[in-house]
Structure 1
């Protein structure tokens, strides 16, 4: 699958992450706060809960856990220090942009395959290092990054979410065509390392449809499919709008 990347709106620069996130946490905070006076918070005498003020808006936060390792870096010359790989992400949390005379972090867009395209700003970065060399240079980093989605109206948010879901469920290969079983990069050259769920994502629009792909090709053990095997793409059932 495609690796997650950040696109800087002002320059068009793309910052790729070394691997896909280990996990993604999405939090939605509604525009609600406690009602208070000029000096203190009001309490609700005789009520079960404190009185609230509904301010509208809110905040959507995404927390990504990323792994960087110099041994996984591409290219003939690998960095000796993993911070060479993570430094660009730290810079996204710096106040390097100006808007209406005020400095702010740059506007970026989180892009991951067809299903994630979120505009926002990086508000926090934390990094834990290990696998140190004899000179003290870390070779592995566990990086946690928080992105807050930028302001957009509710209609745009709903439309964007619907578009992402539709893209995730749209097959990339027409029925009757074929997909080729590719290895997962584990180094196995024969019968191991094939990601059948990714084949189903490309062929049928959802990794959860792997069983449909296997049954159509009379495969009883998807884990035993040799890399390079062509697989026929079946037509989607009549209820294609719902993932089986």
Structure 2
């Protein structure tokens, strides 16, 4: 009884501190492109960990004056979420973990509605658990689902499985998606090369030479004629450049 009391007290303290999370983690289909079957999978057991990965693309232009080359930022890769889910139906008389896993695998395939529209793609999936703000707006495609069945009934039906999942984030594009469409709401950098001027950079990156003043202001440039090759410029958004033109 003493141990039970201690355990109850520890549980109460843990819940008060937010250390115990009774809410079950879920994988939920989001957006308009819904599958025809189940759209939510509640984890039988919460994962012990999950990993978020965010990387960016940097190319380096070799120059005699700079060791390692001059870095040029060319975009941020989609965030990925990696975790392992545990499915266990061993205690049930006719346990079977395959229905949930079949649903999960189905989310890697194009939905019927997307096929009907001649634009086949799988549904977007989000990972819902706890109060991590990094997950609030995160959704993406199931890039990888690896199933490891570990325990079986006598007839071979799987009753336990570990599933490694990778979700590759997908964000709605704002503005253009090609070099000449000048994305409205993204910042990037440009590395000056021989022959570059602020006007030419403004035309290349923002579509209008007149936006050179916005670039100069953002980078604190007083003399736009004295910018040596290798200078790294932060490029404003098209919206900001238009306001400052």
TM-score (norm 1): 0.49
Q: Which has the larger radius of gyration?
A: 2
TM-score (norm 2): 0.49
